[in-house]
Amino acid sequence: MAQNKRIGTLSLIWSGIKLNFLQSAWNFERLQNVGFLFSIHNMLRKIYSGDEAGKLAAIKRHMTFFNTHIFFSSAALGVMTRMEEDLSNDDAKLKETEIDNTKMGIMGPLAAIGDALFWSGIRPLALLFGAGIVWMTDFSFKGWIQASAVSLVVYNLPRFIIKYYLLLKSYYKYKELFVLIQKVKFQDIMKSLKAAGMGILGVFMAVYLTRPELHITLKGGVLDIVLVIAAFLIITWALRSKKSVSNIFLGVLVISVLISYLT
Protein backbone atom coordinates (compact mmCIF):
# COMPACT_ATOMS: atom_id res chain seq x y z
CA MET A 1 0.00 0.00 0.00
CA ALA A 2 1.15 3.56 -0.69
CA GLN A 3 2.10 5.63 2.27
CA ASN A 4 -0.31 8.27 3.54
CA LYS A 5 1.13 11.79 3.61
CA ARG A 6 2.20 12.79 7.08
CA ILE A 7 4.68 15.48 6.16
CA GLY A 8 3.79 19.11 6.81
CA THR A 9 5.39 22.34 5.69
CA LEU A 10 7.13 22.86 9.04
CA SER A 11 8.78 19.44 8.78
CA LEU A 12 9.95 20.27 5.28
CA ILE A 13 11.41 23.58 6.43
CA TRP A 14 13.15 21.88 9.35
CA SER A 15 14.72 19.38 6.94
CA GLY A 16 15.77 22.30 4.75
CA ILE A 17 17.51 23.91 7.72
CA LYS A 18 19.30 20.62 8.39
CA LEU A 19 20.57 20.72 4.80
CA ASN A 20 22.97 23.44 5.94
CA PHE A 21 25.00 20.57 7.40
CA LEU A 22 25.01 18.62 4.12
CA GLN A 23 28.80 18.68 3.86
CA SER A 24 29.63 18.39 7.54
CA ALA A 25 30.32 14.65 7.27
CA TRP A 26 31.86 14.55 3.78
CA ASN A 27 33.61 11.30 2.86
CA PHE A 28 35.55 10.26 -0.22
CA GLU A 29 33.49 7.14 -0.95
CA ARG A 30 29.91 8.46 -0.93
CA LEU A 31 30.52 12.21 -0.56
CA GLN A 32 27.39 13.92 0.88
CA ASN A 33 25.34 10.83 1.77
CA VAL A 34 25.57 11.23 5.56
CA GLY A 35 24.49 14.87 5.40
CA PHE A 36 21.58 14.00 3.11
CA LEU A 37 20.40 11.20 5.40
CA PHE A 38 20.64 13.57 8.37
CA SER A 39 18.36 16.01 6.52
CA ILE A 40 15.72 13.50 5.47
CA HIS A 41 15.78 11.34 8.60
CA ASN A 42 13.07 13.21 10.51
CA MET A 43 10.68 12.80 7.55
CA LEU A 44 11.48 9.12 7.19
CA ARG A 45 10.52 8.62 10.84
CA LYS A 46 7.10 10.16 10.15
CA ILE A 47 6.53 8.34 6.88
CA TYR A 48 7.42 4.94 8.38
CA SER A 49 5.88 5.48 11.80
CA GLY A 50 5.06 2.03 13.13
CA ASP A 51 7.01 0.30 10.34
CA GLU A 52 10.51 -0.25 11.71
CA ALA A 53 11.59 -2.52 8.86
CA GLY A 54 10.47 0.01 6.25
CA LYS A 55 12.31 2.83 8.05
CA LEU A 56 15.54 0.83 8.26
CA ALA A 57 15.30 -0.02 4.55
CA ALA A 58 14.80 3.68 3.72
CA ILE A 59 17.77 4.69 5.87
CA LYS A 60 19.91 2.08 4.16
CA ARG A 61 19.05 3.27 0.64
CA HIS A 62 19.79 6.88 1.54
CA MET A 63 23.23 5.89 2.82
CA THR A 64 24.26 5.32 -0.79
CA PHE A 65 26.21 7.80 -2.91
CA PHE A 66 24.88 11.36 -3.00
CA ASN A 67 26.49 14.47 -4.45
CA THR A 68 24.93 17.61 -5.92
CA HIS A 69 25.06 21.37 -5.50
CA ILE A 70 24.49 22.27 -1.85
CA PHE A 71 21.86 24.93 -2.59
CA PHE A 72 19.96 22.82 -5.13
CA SER A 73 20.02 19.70 -2.94
CA SER A 74 16.67 20.81 -1.50
CA ALA A 75 15.03 19.78 -4.78
CA ALA A 76 16.40 16.25 -4.37
CA LEU A 77 15.25 16.23 -0.75
CA GLY A 78 11.68 17.15 -1.68
CA VAL A 79 11.47 14.61 -4.52
CA MET A 80 12.91 11.79 -2.41
CA THR A 81 10.50 12.51 0.43
CA ARG A 82 7.51 12.49 -1.92
CA MET A 83 8.60 9.23 -3.52
CA GLU A 84 9.10 7.59 -0.13
CA GLU A 85 5.49 8.50 0.66
CA ASP A 86 3.81 7.74 -2.64
CA LEU A 87 5.48 4.55 -3.85
CA SER A 88 3.94 1.32 -2.69
CA ASN A 89 5.73 -0.88 -0.16
CA ASP A 90 4.28 -4.06 -1.71
CA ASP A 91 7.40 -4.49 -3.85
CA ALA A 92 10.31 -3.21 -1.76
CA LYS A 93 12.89 -3.96 -4.46
CA LEU A 94 10.99 -2.01 -7.12
CA LYS A 95 10.56 0.96 -4.75
CA GLU A 96 14.25 1.01 -3.95
CA THR A 97 15.19 0.83 -7.63
CA GLU A 98 12.88 3.70 -8.62
CA ILE A 99 14.11 5.93 -5.81
CA ASP A 100 17.79 5.17 -6.52
CA ASN A 101 17.38 5.74 -10.26
CA THR A 102 15.55 9.03 -9.73
CA LYS A 103 18.16 10.24 -7.26
CA MET A 104 21.02 9.39 -9.61
CA GLY A 105 19.17 11.03 -12.50
CA ILE A 106 18.61 14.42 -10.84
CA MET A 107 21.90 14.89 -8.98
CA GLY A 108 23.93 15.73 -12.08
CA PRO A 109 21.59 18.33 -13.64
CA LEU A 110 21.03 20.04 -10.28
CA ALA A 111 24.78 20.20 -9.68
CA ALA A 112 25.49 21.66 -13.11
CA ILE A 113 22.81 24.33 -12.81
CA GLY A 114 23.81 25.25 -9.26
CA ASP A 115 27.51 25.48 -10.04
CA ALA A 116 26.91 27.75 -13.02
CA LEU A 117 24.39 29.98 -11.27
CA PHE A 118 26.12 30.43 -7.92
CA TRP A 119 29.86 29.83 -8.39
CA SER A 120 30.08 31.55 -11.78
CA GLY A 121 27.31 34.12 -11.38
CA ILE A 122 25.94 35.18 -8.02
CA ARG A 123 29.11 34.75 -5.96
CA PRO A 124 31.33 36.91 -8.24
CA LEU A 125 28.54 39.51 -8.38
CA ALA A 126 28.35 39.64 -4.57
CA LEU A 127 32.13 39.95 -4.29
CA LEU A 128 32.10 42.73 -6.89
CA PHE A 129 29.65 44.70 -4.77
CA GLY A 130 31.86 44.24 -1.74
CA ALA A 131 35.09 45.12 -3.52
CA GLY A 132 33.50 48.23 -5.02
CA ILE A 133 32.28 49.48 -1.65
CA VAL A 134 35.69 48.90 -0.04
CA TRP A 135 37.35 50.77 -2.89
CA MET A 136 34.89 53.66 -2.72
CA THR A 137 35.38 54.05 1.05
CA ASP A 138 39.19 54.11 0.75
CA PHE A 139 39.56 50.77 2.52
CA SER A 140 38.24 52.16 5.79
CA PHE A 141 37.06 49.87 8.59
CA LYS A 142 33.50 51.14 8.17
CA GLY A 143 33.74 50.39 4.47
CA TRP A 144 34.79 46.80 5.17
CA ILE A 145 31.78 46.35 7.46
CA GLN A 146 29.40 47.78 4.84
CA ALA A 147 30.97 45.71 2.08
CA SER A 148 30.67 42.50 4.10
CA ALA A 149 27.02 43.18 4.89
CA VAL A 150 26.09 43.99 1.28
CA SER A 151 27.98 41.00 -0.12
CA LEU A 152 26.31 38.63 2.33
CA VAL A 153 22.85 39.94 1.44
CA VAL A 154 23.45 39.81 -2.33
CA TYR A 155 24.75 36.25 -2.03
CA ASN A 156 22.43 34.77 0.60
CA LEU A 157 19.09 36.28 -0.40
CA PRO A 158 18.84 34.37 -3.72
CA ARG A 159 20.32 31.31 -2.01
CA PHE A 160 17.56 31.34 0.61
CA ILE A 161 14.76 31.96 -1.90
CA ILE A 162 15.93 29.31 -4.37
CA LYS A 163 16.60 26.69 -1.70
CA TYR A 164 13.20 26.79 -0.03
CA TYR A 165 11.26 27.40 -3.23
CA LEU A 166 12.77 24.25 -4.72
CA LEU A 167 12.15 22.30 -1.53
CA LEU A 168 8.44 23.12 -1.39
CA LYS A 169 7.95 22.90 -5.15
CA SER A 170 9.70 19.54 -5.41
CA TYR A 171 7.58 18.05 -2.65
CA TYR A 172 4.11 19.37 -3.45
CA LYS A 173 4.44 19.46 -7.26
CA TYR A 174 7.49 17.39 -8.04
CA LYS A 175 6.32 16.47 -11.54
CA GLU A 176 6.10 20.15 -12.47
CA LEU A 177 9.57 20.82 -11.05
CA PHE A 178 11.39 19.08 -13.87
CA VAL A 179 9.34 20.90 -16.49
CA LEU A 180 10.08 24.19 -14.73
CA ILE A 181 13.82 23.53 -14.67
CA GLN A 182 13.79 22.68 -18.38
CA LYS A 183 12.00 25.93 -19.20
CA VAL A 184 14.38 28.19 -17.26
CA LYS A 185 16.95 29.71 -19.63
CA PHE A 186 20.01 29.56 -17.42
CA GLN A 187 22.37 30.65 -20.20
CA ASP A 188 20.42 33.90 -20.58
CA ILE A 189 20.48 34.37 -16.81
CA MET A 190 24.26 33.93 -16.76
CA LYS A 191 24.69 36.46 -19.57
CA SER A 192 22.48 38.92 -17.71
CA LEU A 193 24.53 38.46 -14.53
CA LYS A 194 27.74 39.13 -16.44
CA ALA A 195 26.25 42.24 -18.04
CA ALA A 196 25.00 43.41 -14.64
CA GLY A 197 28.48 42.89 -13.21
CA MET A 198 30.02 45.01 -15.93
CA GLY A 199 27.42 47.70 -15.36
CA ILE A 200 28.10 47.74 -11.61
CA LEU A 201 31.83 47.94 -12.23
CA GLY A 202 31.27 50.83 -14.61
CA VAL A 203 29.16 52.68 -12.03
CA PHE A 204 31.81 52.26 -9.34
CA MET A 205 34.50 53.44 -11.74
CA ALA A 206 32.49 56.48 -12.84
CA VAL A 207 31.70 57.52 -9.27
CA TYR A 208 35.29 57.07 -8.19
CA LEU A 209 36.75 59.07 -11.08
CA THR A 210 34.41 62.00 -10.47
CA ARG A 211 35.54 62.46 -6.85
CA PRO A 212 36.70 66.08 -6.31
CA GLU A 213 40.01 65.12 -4.72
CA LEU A 214 41.11 63.42 -7.93
CA HIS A 215 40.73 66.69 -9.91
CA ILE A 216 39.35 64.86 -12.93
CA THR A 217 36.88 66.86 -15.00
CA LEU A 218 34.76 65.91 -17.97
CA LYS A 219 35.69 68.26 -20.79
CA GLY A 220 33.44 66.79 -23.38
CA GLY A 221 30.20 67.01 -21.45
CA VAL A 222 27.45 65.08 -23.19
CA LEU A 223 29.97 63.58 -25.63
CA ASP A 224 31.82 61.87 -22.78
CA ILE A 225 28.58 60.37 -21.49
CA VAL A 226 27.66 59.11 -24.96
CA LEU A 227 31.10 57.54 -25.38
CA VAL A 228 30.82 55.76 -22.03
CA ILE A 229 27.38 54.37 -22.89
CA ALA A 230 28.62 53.29 -26.32
CA ALA A 231 31.62 51.55 -24.79
CA PHE A 232 29.40 49.71 -22.33
CA LEU A 233 27.03 48.56 -25.09
CA ILE A 234 29.92 47.39 -27.29
CA ILE A 235 31.52 45.41 -24.48
CA THR A 236 28.18 43.87 -23.55
CA TRP A 237 27.64 42.85 -27.18
CA ALA A 238 31.13 41.33 -27.28
CA LEU A 239 30.44 39.25 -24.18
CA ARG A 240 27.06 38.08 -25.46
CA SER A 241 28.78 37.12 -28.73
CA LYS A 242 31.23 34.98 -26.70
CA LYS A 243 34.27 37.05 -27.61
CA SER A 244 37.40 36.39 -25.60
CA VAL A 245 37.43 38.32 -22.32
CA SER A 246 41.20 38.79 -22.67
CA ASN A 247 40.78 40.32 -26.13
CA ILE A 248 38.01 42.61 -24.85
CA PHE A 249 40.24 43.78 -22.00
CA LEU A 250 43.21 44.40 -24.30
CA GLY A 251 40.98 46.26 -26.74
CA VAL A 252 39.62 48.53 -24.02
CA LEU A 253 43.16 49.15 -22.77
CA VAL A 254 44.51 50.08 -26.20
CA ILE A 255 41.57 52.35 -27.03
CA SER A 256 41.82 54.08 -23.63
CA VAL A 257 45.54 54.80 -24.16
CA LEU A 258 44.90 56.17 -27.67
CA ILE A 259 42.07 58.41 -26.46
CA SER A 260 44.23 59.72 -23.60
CA TYR A 261 46.92 60.79 -26.09
CA LEU A 262 44.44 62.31 -28.54
CA THR A 263 42.78 64.42 -25.86
R_g (Cα) of the chain, nearest Å: 25
Phi, psi values for residue 66, rounded to 5°: -150, 130
Q: For residue 1, what pLDDT is reported?
A: 43
Please name the residue ranges forming H helices in the chain. Answer: 9-18, 33-47, 52-61, 73-86, 92-114, 123-136, 141-172, 174-183, 186-209, 222-240, 245-262
Question: Taking a C-beta distance cutoff of 8 angstroms, is the pair 193, 104 a contact?
Answer: no
Give the residue from 137, 133, 256 showing the smallest Cα distance to 200. Answer: 133
Q: For residue 135, what pLDDT is reported?
A: 79
Question: Taking a C-beta distance cutoff of 8 angstroms, is the pair 198, 237 a contact?
Answer: no
Q: For residue 221, what pLDDT is reported?
A: 57
- Position 263: which residue type? T
Q: For residue 149, what pLDDT is reported?
A: 92
Q: For residue 2, what pLDDT is reported?
A: 45
The four Cα atoms 37, 43, 46, 48 give a dihedral, to 10 degrees, of -50
Q: For residue 222, what pLDDT is reported?
A: 62
Question: Taking a C-beta distance cutoff of 8 angstroms, is the pair 7, 43 a contact?
Answer: yes
Q: For residue 57, what pLDDT is reported?
A: 87
Q: Residue 258 and residue 263: Cα distance in Å, rounded?
A: 9
Mean pLDDT by 10 residues, the chain (263 residues): 63 90 86 90 87 87 89 90 84 85 86 84 85 82 89 91 88 77 70 72 67 56 67 74 70 73 66
